[in-house]
Amino acid sequence: MAFQRLSMASRPLPRLLASSPSPSLSSYTRTASHAQPLSLSLAISAVGPRDRHRSQFQRRIQLQRHQHRHYPSYSQVDPRLSRQLIRGVSAPIAQTLLVARSNKIRSPLSLSLSHSHRPGLFFSTATSPHLQTRRSTTMAVGTVLITGGTGYIGSFTTLALLDAGYDVVIVDSLYNSSKVAIDRIELLAGRRPDFYQVDITNEKALDEVFAKHPAIDSVIHFAALKAVGESSIIPLEYYRVNVGGSIALLQSMTRYNVTNIVFSSSATVYGDATRFPDMIPIPEHCPIGPTNTYGRTKSMIEDVITDYVNAQRTNLEKEGKPFQQWNGALLRYFNPCGAHPSGIMGEDPQGVPFNLLPLLGQVATGQREKLLVFGEDYPSRDGTAIRDYIHVVDLARGHLEALNYLRSKQPGVKAWNLGSGRGSTVFEIIKAFSNVVGRDLKYEVVARRPGDVLDLTANPKLANEELQWKTELTMEKACEDLWRWVSNNPQGYRQEPPAELLAAIKKA
Ligand SMILES: NC(=O)c1ccc[n+]([C@@H]2O[C@H](COP(=O)([O-])OP(=O)(O)OC[C@H]3O[C@@H](n4cnc5c(N)ncnc54)[C@H](O)[C@@H]3O)[C@@H](O)[C@H]2O)c1
């Protein structure tokens, strides 16, 4: 989409909000209100002296258009956003992008302001208040390789990164995913990520991708086998793909000087946290102790990344070379669930799903007769196991924040829990999903599964504070979005989504 560029001098922007801490901030808001946006999406980049010293924060605000053109004040909209904005504009060298969407604006407009903060303002003609997607950008914030990017969490993270102005290159073997995910990402983001069908254990193929895309400076690593039960049946395959694949990736990254890695770890690494006093909700300092092969591969990869990044930093420092560019984020997610609110993107495993909510989705659509509940003799409020369910859209945003943190703060290796802090039992989930579907879903209680634990509820305080990230969407919202996805697409990506859902996106 083309933008028309104007200078600050050619269009002075009046102050709107008396309470605004920054004249430049109020200028943006004022201009946005002229445009009568139905939805505003705002991204702030604090850009350091060099390109890689850069962080970006993205938040969205929905501004309801009022009859009398009255808009809620900035702080009324989202206090966290305004805190970030203040920090963004007061940074010594900062760049602020404000993306506004409006069906009122006929010709897209870009304002380049020429004071020390050098903010830019971009309006796009796309209106998408509920889909929360970004249709255009004038520059890439950075380029990221996403392994496993056509999978469930990978596809949502790709969307979040494109939406925030990153360019994305995906490698995936399509072992448990479909290329159609890329079409859906493009439909929602208005941009298509590059894609290569590559096995993560194939170092040579990874080299070729890095060689073709020299702009890549970071990796988000999702590609893995992830079925807990299967991991105890074919453990060598789990170690080969998960651990071996991660080592191949680090080797290849090193050859191409790609030095930031965000890794998909799991709450499974904690094992049974109830074996210690005061470890529920689980903090990051809870001792690691996975109870199954899959969890052990994840904890082993955490160790591999930690040892390697630390060694790279130490060795380079000894040689008197820059070393702080080597960084790793170990993101321990709790139970990802839900789908895109548009109803056209969601989880579409190639075989039998392993997680509770997709299984319940199959019961609701009649593809499965009933849900098996593994154990009702846990010491919980209703006897079933407790998990922390996190909406996949929130989780994807967590990756964006972790990536931005690595690139701006260069902390070395850090682990963060990505969870809501709210635990729900299996029975509570069945009830919440049944409420959304409008009828009781059939289940049967069977014996506990070996390796399952009573309670995996996150303490997300560290991510809340350091990454300025916290969940915004509830488990109930995840149930709603999941039902919209499965009821409209019972065949997942093997069918076209209903015309009315596509029409809603096109209209937006
Ligand atoms: N979904 C969860 O409940 C959960 C929880 C914690 C952690 N994780 C981790 O998050 C990551 C993504 O999980 P997901 O739920 O999106 O799973 P997913 O299966 O949908 O995504 C994984 C992707 O990796 C790809 N892949 C598998 N083997 C590969 C290989 N050898 N080479 C290249 N690509 C390969 C698959 O095709 C798939 O697209 C995984 O590492 C998983 O262990 C998932």
Domain containing residue 188: CATH number: 3.40.50.720
Q: Which residues are catalytic?
A: 294
Mean pLDDT, the chain, rounded, equals 79
pLDDT at 146: 99
Ligand 1 center–CA 16 separation, angstroms: 47
- The residue among 275 and 80 whose pLDDT is bigger is 275
User: pLDDT-based confidence at 22, cuts 50/70/90?
Assistant: very low
Burial 231-262 (b: 16+ CB within 10 A, else e): beeeeeebbebbbbbbbbbbebbeebebbbbb
Record the tokens describing residue 123, joined without a space: 């309006």
Please calculate the CA angle 60-93-463 and round it to the nearest 5 degrees. 45
Hey, which of 157, 175, 209, 331 would you mutate to test ligand 1's pocket, going by the most ligand atoms within 8 Å of its Cβ?
A: 175
Per-residue pLDDT of 417-461, as tens digits, reads: 999 999 999 999 999 999 999 999 999 999 999 888 999 999 999
110 and 240 together in one domain: no
Task: Tell me what percent of the residues of the chain surpass a pLDDT of 70.
Answer: 73
pLDDT at 45: 33
Domain encompassing residue 148: 143-507
277 and 312 together in one domain: yes
> Which of 90, 124, 158 corresponds to the end of one domain?
124
Ligand 1 atom closest to 298 (CA): 43
> Which of 124, 153, 173 corresponds to the end of one domain?
124
- The residue among 69 and 508 whose pLDDT is bigger is 508
pLDDT at 32: 33
Residues 6+ apart with CB under 8 A from 132: 39, 41, 60, 163, 341
pLDDT at 367: 93
Residue 123 has pLDDT above 60, yes or no: no
Domain count, the chain: 2
User: pLDDT-based confidence at 41, cuts 50/70/90?
Assistant: very low
Task: Write the residue with the smallest CA distance to atom 43 of ligand 1.
Answer: 226
Residue 264 has pLDDT above 70, yes or no: yes
Per-residue pLDDT of 167-181, as tens digits, reads: 999 999 999 999 999
**Would residue 452 count as lying in a domain?**
yes
189 and 66 together in one domain: no
339 and 298 together in one domain: yes
Task: Write the residue with the smallest CA distance to atom 12 of ligand 1.
Answer: 222
**Would residue 132 count as lying in a domain?**
no
**Would residue 201 count as lying in a domain?**
yes
392 and 486 together in one domain: yes
The pTM (predicted TM-score) of the whole model is 0.77
Cβ–Cβ under 8 Å, residues 143 and 169:
yes
Ligand 1 center–CA 351 separation, angstroms: 13
195 and 337 together in one domain: yes
383 and 468 together in one domain: yes
User: pLDDT-based confidence at 102, cuts 50/70/90?
Assistant: very low
Ligand 1 atom closest to 198 (CA): 33
Task: Tell me what percent of the residues of the chain surpass a pLDDT of 90.
Answer: 70
* Ligand 1 pocket by Cβ (under 6 Å): 148, 150-154, 172-177, 199-201, 222-226, 241, 245, 264, 266, 333, 335-336, 355
Ligand 1 center–CA 73 separation, angstroms: 41
